């Protein structure tokens, strides 16, 4: 199994989720994906040239493409094109190549790009169009293109808050009430979003089955997020912070769990370490979603746990007690 095979498998596994996302939110997703992947490759090629490293062989390892893929899947479909450029620049040049290239980065490059945009352009980053529901359609290709090229402003009524956002800011309603009142909620979580998460769950499970994504972080992440949600559920009262399924199938949970948390370069080395890493991320995601300023906390949670990875590595060595520490031949 070569690294190229691993990267191609990741891209394939993300296809169901990406396609479902494009179905619900329009062609902007596809444009984002293609543009982000292309931009990431361009930035990577330029930096490799500057660093006097072999360009074509390194590009072919596919890691820049995967970063572009993850960026493309995290961005809102109507995001202006120049913001994408900024995100890809920070992801590839700053977060990855400046740290030493593949395998040497401390932070997940896609999450760095996303976080920088989220903090710098909070409005644009939280502007999601109306998804494809019974009454609404996502924006068509032509309008999407014009908006993304900053040739057109986003017309009123085009956008809608995300379900997690709506749930967080519901005015004193119980969970059952907001579910009835708003058309944004479906079977388990937000409409559209639950299908997107289900598709990522499908692709991600295949990755775990093929042993390309290691299972320990995924399971502990989902479990700790679920436990936190269950603990604070408060029976769906007006003060409730959301059910287990709302969190599991809402926002970028499955994408984060299977595709970002499992990034080997930024995650701990051992199974034990991965367990604590996933648990920390799950708890942080819940805390940030509920008591933080942003509706979804996946990016920040993962970046914070990336920071913790070296310490986790030092504290979780192997299972055997190698008591002899004398230098031997």
Q: Are 199 and 252 in contact (CB under 8 A)?
A: no
- Cβ-based nearer residue to other proteins, 3 or 174: 3
Check binding of 320 to other proteins (CB under 8 A): yes
Q: Are 256 and 285 in contact (CB under 8 A)?
A: yes
- Site residues for other proteins, window 30-59 (CB under 8 A)? 57
Q: Among 96, 168, 214, 241, which residue sits at the site for other proteins (rule: CB under 8 A)?
A: 214
Q: Among 5, 141, 209, 291, which residue sits at the site for other proteins (rule: CB under 8 A)?
A: 5
- Cβ-based nearer residue to other proteins, 157 or 319: 319
Check binding of 96 to other proteins (CB under 8 A): no
The contacts of residue 324 (CB under 8 Å, 6+ apart) are: none
Q: Among 56, 153, 235, 329, which residue sits at the site for other proteins (rule: CB under 8 A)?
A: 329
- Site residues for other proteins, window 258-297 (CB under 8 A)? 264-265, 267, 269-270
Least distance in Å: CB of 2 to other proteins? 5
CA distances from 192 to 26, 199, 206, 301 (A): 12, 11, 22, 24
Check binding of 61 to other proteins (CB under 8 A): yes
Q: Both tokens of residue 233?
A: 């559920």
Check binding of 2 to other proteins (CB under 8 A): yes
Q: Are 181 and 173 in contact (CB under 8 A)?
A: yes
Q: Among 56, 153, 235, 323, which residue sits at the site for other proteins (rule: CB under 8 A)?
A: 323
- Cβ-based nearer residue to other proteins, 153 or 326: 326
Q: Are 22 and 195 in contact (CB under 8 A)?
A: no
- Site residues for other proteins, window 224-263 (CB under 8 A)? none
Least distance in Å: CB of 11 to other proteins? 15
For 33, the 3-state DSSP assignment is: helix
Q: How far apart are the first and last CA of the chain?
A: 33
Q: Among 27, 63, 108, 306, which residue sits at the site for other proteins (rule: CB under 8 A)?
A: 63
CA distances from 83 to 46, 66, 115, 149 (A): 19, 19, 12, 11
Q: Among 80, 101, 226, 292, which residue sits at the site for other proteins (rule: CB under 8 A)?
A: 101
- Cβ-based nearer residue to other proteins, 235 or 323: 323
| Phi–psi pair at 185, nearest 5 degrees | -110, 135
- Cβ-based nearer residue to other proteins, 11 or 118: 11
Q: Both tokens of residue 223?
A: 């479990």
Contacts 24+ apart (CB under 8 A), 231-236: 232/286, 232/290, 236/174, 236/175, 236/176
Least distance in Å: CB of 105 to other proteins? 10
Q: Both tokens of residue 193?
A: 């979003």
- Cβ-based nearer residue to other proteins, 194 or 263: 263
Q: Are 88 and 68 in contact (CB under 8 A)?
A: yes
- Cβ-based nearer residue to other proteins, 108 or 243: 108
Q: Which residues, listed in sequence order, are joined to residue 128 by a DSSP beta bridge? A: 160
For 51, the 3-state DSSP assignment is: coil
Check binding of 215 to other proteins (CB under 8 A): no
Site map 105..124 versus other proteins, x via CB under 8 A: --------------------
CA distances from 189 to 150, 176, 181, 194, 275 (A): 32, 12, 14, 6, 26
Q: Give residues in contact with other proteins (CB under 8 A).
A: 1-3, 5-6, 57, 61, 63, 101-104, 214, 264-265, 267, 269-270, 313, 317-320, 322-329
């Amino acid at each position: 199994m070569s690294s190229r095979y691993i990267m191609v498998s990741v891209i394939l596994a993300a296809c169901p989720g990406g396609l479902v996302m494009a179905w619900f939110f329009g062609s902007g997703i596809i444009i984002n994906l293609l543009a982000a992947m292309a931009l990431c490759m361009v930035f990577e090629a330029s930096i490799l040239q500057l660093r006097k490293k072999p360009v074509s062989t390194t590009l072919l390892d596919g890691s820049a493409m995967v970063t572009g893929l993850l960026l493309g899947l995290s961005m809102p479909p109507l995001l202006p094109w120049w913001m994408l450029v900024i995100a890809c620049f920070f992801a590839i040049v700053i977060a990855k190549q400046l740290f030493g290239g593949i395998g040497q980065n401390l932070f997940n490059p896609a999450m760095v790009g996303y976080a920088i945009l989220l903090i710098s352009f909070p409005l644009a980053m939280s502007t999601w169009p109306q998804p494809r529901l019974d009454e609404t359609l996502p924006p068509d290709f032509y309008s999407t293109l014009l908006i993304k090229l900053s040739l057109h402003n986003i017309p009123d009524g085009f956008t809608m808050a995300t379900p997690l956002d709506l749930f967080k800011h519901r005015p004193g309603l119980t969970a059952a009430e907001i579910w009835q009142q708003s058309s944004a909620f479906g079977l388990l979580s937000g409409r559209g979003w639950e299908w997107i998460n289900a598709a990522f769950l499908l692709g991600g499970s295949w990755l775990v089955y093929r042993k390309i994504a290691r299972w320990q972080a995924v399971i502990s992440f989902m479990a700790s997020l679920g436990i936190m949600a269950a603990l604070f559920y408060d029976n769906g009262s007006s003060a409730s912070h959301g059910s287990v399924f709302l969190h599991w199938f809402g926002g970028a949970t499955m994408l984060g769990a299977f595709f970002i948390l499992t990034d080997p370069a930024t995650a701990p080395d051992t199974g034990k370490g991965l367990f604590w890493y996933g648990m920390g991320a799950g708890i942080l995601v819940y805390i940030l979603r509920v008591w933080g300023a942003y509706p979804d906390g996946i990016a920040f949670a993962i970046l914070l746990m990336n920071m913790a990875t070296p310490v986790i590595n030092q504290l979780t060595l192997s299972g055997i007690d190698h008591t002899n520490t004398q230098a031997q031949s």
